[in-house]
With several copies, the nearest count.
Chain A
Amino acid sequence: MIIIITLGKKEGSVKRADGRAFDELRPIKIEAGVLERADGSAYLEFGGNKVLVAVYGPREFHIRRFQKPDQAVVRCRYNMAPFSVDDRKRPGPDRRSVEISKITSEALAPAVFLEKYPRSTIDVFIEVLEAEGGTRCAGITAASVAMADAGIPMRDMVVACAAGKADDNVVLDLSEKEDKEGQADLPVAVMPRTGEITLIQMDGNLSSEEFEKALDLALEGCKKISEIQKDALKTRYGE
């Protein structure tokens, strides 16, 4: 039920602090259907990140004035467990998690046939159990698997991955250390079938050329992770 994939090193190019090649992902495993009560769920480990996602819905949106008359609404709640980071995090939403919740909702919505469920809500709860750089991408990747596990009809399975710049090199999938000390971070989410981008954020400093290189690298990373998402569903539901 658990897939462990350590993606092999490629070219002997740039060596990173943790020994990875510039275009190498951290080990990933994804498991679908790990919770009893939720309509769909997934557990993902990505490097040191541990993320659990539960999906409820489509279900009736019980607050009338927030319903959309012609489609469903995707509502995400990204939350970090108090013990997920070095210094205990106080429970409850902070400004960072409010922003991530918003852009995660927007990253997932394009893939869903929302128009099938007017006046409904699809609630996605992302719990970061342990954080080590890249939790928002990990959350989106796991959320797609959980939505598929919930049987929500989707035109594609959104997948996310970051690239960035560390030690003057453009690299894939920043580790926690690279994220903190690095020069730029570029998380990206895509629908892999069309290559359309559903989330992009950036902070740091990248020339246009570096930006394009990082974006291409992130898109490449997304493709690899997409395969692992599919494998997780196959493992659960068979071919």
Chain B
Amino acid sequence: MVNKMVDIIPEITKKSITNLINNGERADNRALDEYRDITLETGVITKAEGSARVKIGNTQIMIGAKSQIAEPFPDTPKNGVLMTNSELLPMASPTFEPGPPDERSVELSRVVDRCLREGGVIDLEKLCIIPGEKVWMIFLDIHVLDYDGNLMDAAALGCLAAIMDTKIPEATVRDGEIVIDKEKLIELPIKEKALLCTFAKIGNELVLDPSLEEERVMGARITVGVIEDGSVCAMQKGGEEPLTKEEIMKAIKITKEKTDILRKHLN
């Protein structure tokens, strides 16, 4: 049971944003299904084994990947492990406070984690070194630097880019001993490119990639994850208002189109 800071928005702001959107317009002149400018840099942190800095509009997130050798989970003894963690740094927003992850941070990392895991982004079986004993564990740390709305999509995109940027040392087994060759770096075994699209329900419409201002007035949020063939791999509704089945099916349709375009920029 987590207490939330209350964010009070003037009724007039809410109305003006909603009226615009009901007319098919947005405060920053985007189309309802249009992303803000996206910038993506990889290899930005030398000490990380993979890294990415992603900006969607003014939202800015840095992701670093680190590998270490660990024991596999008992129920998946032949699989490597992916750990996704996020920090909503107090630098990123006056509403973020220092301390252990709150429910927003937990939701962010868990939804991104589900997208990557259920989307089958990494071939975890190839990260096994000795079955049941030693596997590679990949840590993804999502460091939120500047919060201007739509953290989910930025984090998922940045994580995918960081994974694609990651190189880990080769690990081989000789006479039962694990030999790590730090000279021989290999890419992570990537099977899929799963991505998220997030929509805000404002007024009667769904808008893609909500800005902070839009998030503050939205009634509900729906995030959809899809893989390359258009299958849905993750979904998460948020917010205190309901959605209809039609809205959800529409969100899936737009997500397919938009992630196809995003994915092209990743190669």
User: Which residues of A does B touch, CB under 8 Å?
Assistant: 35-38, 41, 48, 50, 52-54, 56, 59, 63, 65-69, 73, 75-77, 79, 81-88, 91-92, 95-96, 98-99, 101-103, 106, 109-110, 123, 125, 127, 129-132, 186, 190-191, 194-208, 211-212, 215, 219
Encoded as 1 (CB less than 8 Å from any A CB) or 0, chain B from 198 to 222 comes to 0000000000000000000000001
Contacts of A98 in B (CB 8 A): 2, 103, 106
Contact B47 A86 (CB under 8 A): yes
Contacts of B62 in A (CB 8 A): 81, 129
Task: Tell me how far the C-beta of B36 lies from the nearest C-beta in chain A, rounded to whole angstroms.
Answer: 12
Contact A38 B66 (CB under 8 A): no
Contact B103 A101 (CB under 8 A): yes
- The A/B interface has a contact count, at CB < 8 Å, of 197
Main secondary structure of the interface of B (DSSP, over half): mixed
**The residue from B2, B45, B66, B240 contacting A109, defined by CB atoms under 8 A apart:** B240
Contacts of A200 in B (CB 8 A): 222, 235-237, 243, 248
Question: Given A48-B46, A206-B232, is A123 in contact with B1 using a C-beta cutoff of 8 Å?
Answer: yes
What's the Cα separation between A204 and B226 when bound, in Å?
10
Q: Is B77 an interface residue (CB 8 A)?
A: no
Contact A195 B244 (CB under 8 A): yes
Contact B231 A207 (CB under 8 A): yes
What's the Cα separation between A129 and B48 when bound, in Å?
10
Task: Tell me how far the C-beta of A31 lies from the nearest C-beta in chain B, rounded to whole angstroms.
Answer: 13
Contact B242 A198 (CB under 8 A): yes
Contact B85 A202 (CB under 8 A): no
Question: Given A130-B47, A196-B242, is A54 in contact with B6 using a C-beta cutoff of 8 Å?
Answer: no
Question: Nearest CB to that of A38 among chain B residues?
Answer: B91
Task: Tell me how far the C-beta of B8 lies from the nearest C-beta in chain A, rounded to whole angstroms.
Answer: 7
Contact B148 A37 (CB under 8 A): yes
Question: Nearest CB to that of B4 among chain A residues?
Answer: A66
The stretch of B21-29, B122-130, B138-146 that contacts the partner chain: B138-146
Contact B141 A82 (CB under 8 A): yes
Contact B5 A197 (CB under 8 A): no
Contacts of B148 in A (CB 8 A): 36-37
Contact B2 A83 (CB under 8 A): no
Contacts of A36 in B (CB 8 A): 58, 60, 146, 148
Contact B47 A204 (CB under 8 A): no
What's the Cα separation between A92 and B98 when bound, in Å?
9
Contact B237 A103 (CB under 8 A): yes
Contacts of B222 in A (CB 8 A): 200
Contact B65 A110 (CB under 8 A): no
What's the Cα separation between A69 and B7 when bound, in Å?
11
What's the Cα separation between A36 and B48 when bound, in Å?
26
Contacts of B110 in A (CB 8 A): 95-96, 99
Question: Given A56-B94, A103-B238, A106-B237, is A211 in contact with B252 using a C-beta cutoff of 8 Å?
Answer: yes
Contact B242 A110 (CB under 8 A): yes
Q: Is B3 an interface residue (CB 8 A)?
A: yes
Contacts of A65 in B (CB 8 A): 5-6
